[in-house]
Amino acid sequence: SLRNVLGDVPLSDVLSVKRDDLMAALKKQVGATVGRYGIDIVDIRIVRADLPVQTSEAIYARMRTERQQQAAQFRAEGQEQAQEIKAKADKQRTVLLADAEQQAQVSRGAGDAEASRIYAAAYGRDPAFYAFYRTMQAYRRSFADKDTTLVLSPDSAFLRYFKDEAGKQ
């Protein structure tokens, strides 16, 4: 009679609040069966409800699969968000670098213009000194590397200040 009652109800009823109704039905059914023998059923309790091993394993496998799917979904969403953040950061980086390069070019242009203005003013005041100064700068750049080899004619204009302090050929 236990099987008759328990076999007709789903496992969720055994594990839920309907358990009290189930135990009352069991007490009535079993009491009717054993009452013929002079046994009085005082109380019936379901202390533990175990599933068959195969059912338990199947439930645990399903739970594991669900958690693995959920974890994979979370990872995929996290990777998608990471890619969005990286793309946004790369875009900001590109914009910032472009703006910085533009500002640098404007600053270089202004500096070059100022340098040209100063050179022109200096050249206008003393053309000989300006020519001398520019030649000294060229010497400094040319001889900066100690391994530099220059092949020049002795009468080259580049060497004019080596011959004469006034730079005359």
Q: Given this model, what pLDDT does residue 118 score?
A: 86
The number of distinct structural domains making up the chain is 3
> Residue 164 sits in which domain range?
128-169
pLDDT in tens, 78-87: 999 999 999 9
Shared domain for 66 and 116, answered yes or no, is yes
Query: Which residues, in sequence order, are CB contacts of 159 under 8 Å at separation 6+?
Result: 152
Taking residues 142-147, what's their average pLDDT? 79
The predicted pLDDT at position 11 comes to 72
Cα torsion through 59, 63, 65, 66, rounded to 10: 130
Residues 15 and 75 in one domain: no
pLDDT at residue 70, as a whole number: 97
Same domain, yes or no, for 149 and 120?
no
**CA distances in angstroms from 68 to 34, 63, 73, 81, listed in the order given:** 50, 9, 9, 20
Half-sphere exposure of 37 (CA within 13 A, CB side): 6
Which pLDDT score, from 0 to 100, does residue 74 have?
97
Q: What is the pLDDT of residue 26?
A: 83
Q: Answer yes or no: do 151 and 108 share one domain.
A: no
Same domain, 145 and 104: no
Residue 114 shares a structural domain with residue 70: yes
Judgement on whether residues 117 and 85 belong to the same structural domain of the protein: yes
Is pLDDT at 167 greater than 60 in this prediction? no
Both tokens of 19, joined, read 């358990």
Same domain? 60 vs 99: yes
